[in-house]
Amino acid sequence: MVPLGFRCHRRKEILSPACQSLIAFVSMNYEESISYIESLVPTLERPTLERMKLFVDEFDGLANQIPVFHVGGTNGKGSTAAILDAMLSGAGFRVGRFTGPHIIHFNERFALSESGCSKIISNDDFAEFASITWRQSLEFASRHPELGPLTWFEFLTAMAFNFFRAKLCDCLVLEVGLGGRFDATNVAENVCGTIITNVDLDHMQILGDTVDKIAFEKSGIIRKGVPVITAAQGSALEVIRSQAEQRGALLIVLPPGGLDLENPPTIEDKSKLAFAGRVDQLCDALPLKGAHQRTNTSLALMSFALSWLAPDFDECLFGGMVRSLSRLYFPGRMQSLSDKNLIMDAAHNPAGAKTLRQALDQRSAMNYVFVLGFFANKDMNAYLQALLRQGDLVIACQAQTRRATCSPDEIAAVCADLGISVQIVSSVAEACRTALALADPQRWCVVTGSFAVLRECMLMLGWHSIEDGATQNC
């Protein structure tokens, strides 16, 4: 059954007071919640935070009741958010984490962590807080017909605030959805730490066609007086530096590879560097693979250390952080299934492809069998040039998704120009089965290119949720 108000929303009608009163007693079940969310407008033609700011203000300052760590950037922000979440949880905080995109289920976007243990939202809680947010959105639209109800990502963000407030979280880790300046998460003002992981070319049709333009959009999350940590380089770093200076925010710049313990950041409070000096111990405990994760760990650690939530360093506290990180599970990031000679990674732009290849080469000098599929708005040529080496084999496929995708023939044509062997198949599942049949200990299979490709690979493996890939439980 479609919940009351669903069709009214689709027609952008204004609900009558009687209908509003009735809706107050109506809730959606899980399936209805998903259907409603998937029906929403994905974004705005003219980016603005006007609706979202007014919405959170009218519902008791929804976005500003819990301290927030805000994580933006082009690549690595999901991993950085997960690492920061684990650190905070290990340090004794109850943490809410809002990330995206999800791989199999929307639930993955909402995680609650405590005592080093992280759990994604249950179906029942998802339905309950989707229903609460749905009613709020319709009520808001009835008062402000010129603005209308929340869009897709605005709804998810508001739902996150509702859920984490009800669960009495001590702090939140929010991953920017897209860009930063006009992202729905940027309504949060109670920010205690800001991270901009890096800046590279991606989503250029929305954020701008140069690194500088994209850096300006991502710098929109910088808050007055709030430390901002970044590993950005070049002209992007200069844009971030300029924006930090304008807003009176302390800027800490990490070199490639993360914290340099021989040349630590210049910080007035030297006690804060006690955390920084232990970064390698944290990295040793981290299950996430790849040298780039040291940078992500350094970003998370410095943001935590410089925040007003950070307690004084002690060995007991640090031990809790190490134990929490050792239990971290964040799928699709150099995720290795050794029994299948399989790696799954979410690299989806040229910079991500370069990082993935570096991680693969550090792991082994072998060639790989790649299962590849892309969304149409990605720079496939640059991606393949960054990823592939002579001797690799590509299985080109196309995910089943509502978004426009590159055809396997298009992928094959670029591979042919690069002198890379390629096979064309009709589906991701078939591509994965083909690749796994060819894989062996001397030539592993790597599934990558988009989250949609990862999703179909996981489903082919028989997973019902991302938790099916976890090797340990809390």
Q: Which two tokens stand for residue 174?
A: 């929010």
- Residue 240 main-chain phi, psi, to 5 deg: -65, -40
What is the Cα–Cα distance from 30 to 27, expressed in whole angstroms? 10
In angstroms, what CA-CA distances link 233 with 67, 244, 333? Answer: 28, 15, 23
| CA angle at 446 for the pair 442 and 449, rounded to the nearest 5° | 160
Instruction: For 68, list phi and psi in degrees, rounded to 5.
Output: -125, 135
The burial class, CB within 10 Å (0-12 / 13-18 / 19+), for 360 is buried
Residues of the chain above pLDDT 70, percent: 92
User: CA 235, CA 439: separation in Å to the nearest integer?
Assistant: 41
DSSP H helices in 40-122: 50-58, 77-90
Cα 67–69–73 angle (5° rounding)? 155
pLDDT for residue 1: 34
Token pair in block for residue 430? 């078939």
Q: Which two tokens stand for residue 89?
A: 């949880």
User: Tell me, what's the pLDDT at 4?
Assistant: 39
More confident residue, 26 or 274: 274
pLDDT for 474 equals: 58
Model confidence pLDDT, tens digit, residues 166-180:
999 999 999 999 888
pTM assigned to the model? 0.92
Verify cis geometry, omega within 30 degrees of 0, for the bond prior to 149: no
Q: pLDDT tens-digit profile of 224-258?
A: 999 999 999 999 999 999 999 999 999 999 998 99
Residue range 255-270: average pLDDT?
Answer: 84
CB atoms within 10 A of CB 464: 10
pLDDT of residue 17: 54
Question: At residue 5, does pLDDT exceed 50?
Answer: no
Instruction: State how far the Cα of 77 lies from the Cα of 186, in Å rounded to an integer.
Output: 15
Number of Cβ atoms within 10 Å of the Cβ of 308:
9
Predicted confidence at residue 150, as pLDDT, reads 95
Q: What is the mean pLDDT of residues 302-310?
A: 94
Residues in CB range of 325: below 8 A, 6 or more apart: 83, 86, 87, 90, 282, 285, 286
What is d(CA 211, CA 200) in angstroms, rounded to the nearest whole number? Answer: 6
Element housing 282 (H / E) = helix 279-285
Name residues whose C-beta falls within 8 Å of residue 297's C-beta, 6 or more positions apart in sequence.
83, 258, 279, 282, 283, 286
**Residue written as token pair 């949720």:** 465
Say how far apart CA 277 and CA 96 lie, in whole Å: 27
Q: Which residues contact 354 (CB under 8 A, 6 or more apart)?
A: 386, 387
Q: Which domains occur in the chain, in start order?
A: 50-120+157-326 (3.40.1190.10), 335-469 (3.90.190.20)
Q: What is the CA radius of gyration of the chain?
A: 22
User: What is the enclosing helix (H) or strand (E) of 336?
Assistant: strand 335-337
Residues in the chain: 474
Q: What angle do CA 152, 156, 158 make, to 5 degrees?
A: 115
Under 8 Å between Cβ of 397 and 408: yes
Please name the helix (run of DSSP H) or strand (run of DSSP E) that holds residue 171, with its range, or none: strand 171-175
Tell me how far apart the alpha carbons of residues 180 and 71 are, in angstroms, rounded to a whole number.
9
> 29-43, 88-102, 184-198, 235-249 — which is least confidently predicted?
29-43
| Residue 357: both structure tokens together | 């290849």
pLDDT, the chain, mean: 91
